Amino acid sequence: MPDQTSKDRSPLLSATQKAAIFVPLAVGVFALDLASKLVVFRAADACIIRGSDGPYADAARVIPVIPGFFDLQCVLNAGAFSGWFRGWYWFLIIVSVAALAAITAYVLYGPVHGRLFAAALACIAGGTAGNLYDRIAYGAVRDFFHAYVTIGGRTWTWPNFNVADAAICAGAGLWITLEFALSRGRRKRC
């Protein structure tokens, strides 16, 4: 049997090990995303209305969490990050399905080195699935985290996001960090 470790990477995970990490974490992220959207939209008395310009959220109230910095504010995003690709409904669905298929195929058939890499892929897959669900069910993604800061009477705001977005960013960030650590380790040995 060939050695499944290398000097550059963590040990390869078996199919059982990959599944034990990937499946529960991806499903957990997906479930947490959908549950959080349900709870926050209900708490804000928000309803989704299908208008002539597309769906939008009509929220009765904004829920302050940290005044002057962070609120729960229900909105619908018919595009990607900050409304990019608004109106490209089918393109965003196809990209999401392709991403899920590619990640799942890689986890099933590819070499997954280490539990952290499997966790990063699971976060990306679970978040992608949560936003894909929204696109199909509502025609847009439900977002509610609203971060902003007011300095000198001027407010800077970050586009609203959700648990799925946070999981995708965390997974991508972890993946990038692992790759940087790997490349740094290679340079030290040269």
Q: Which residues are catalytic?
A: 143, 165
Compute the half-sphere exposure of residue 65: CA atoms within 13 Å on the CB side of its CA. 13
C-beta contacts of 179-183 below 8 A and 24+ residues apart: 182/8, 182/9
132, 143 in Cβ contact below 8 A? no
Residues 6+ apart with CB under 8 A from 125: 22, 26, 29, 99, 100, 103, 104, 107
The tokens 């990959």 sit on which residue? 18
Alpha carbons 48 and 138: distance in angstroms, whole number: 8
Alpha carbons 149 and 29: distance in angstroms, whole number: 28
125, 164 in Cβ contact below 8 A? no
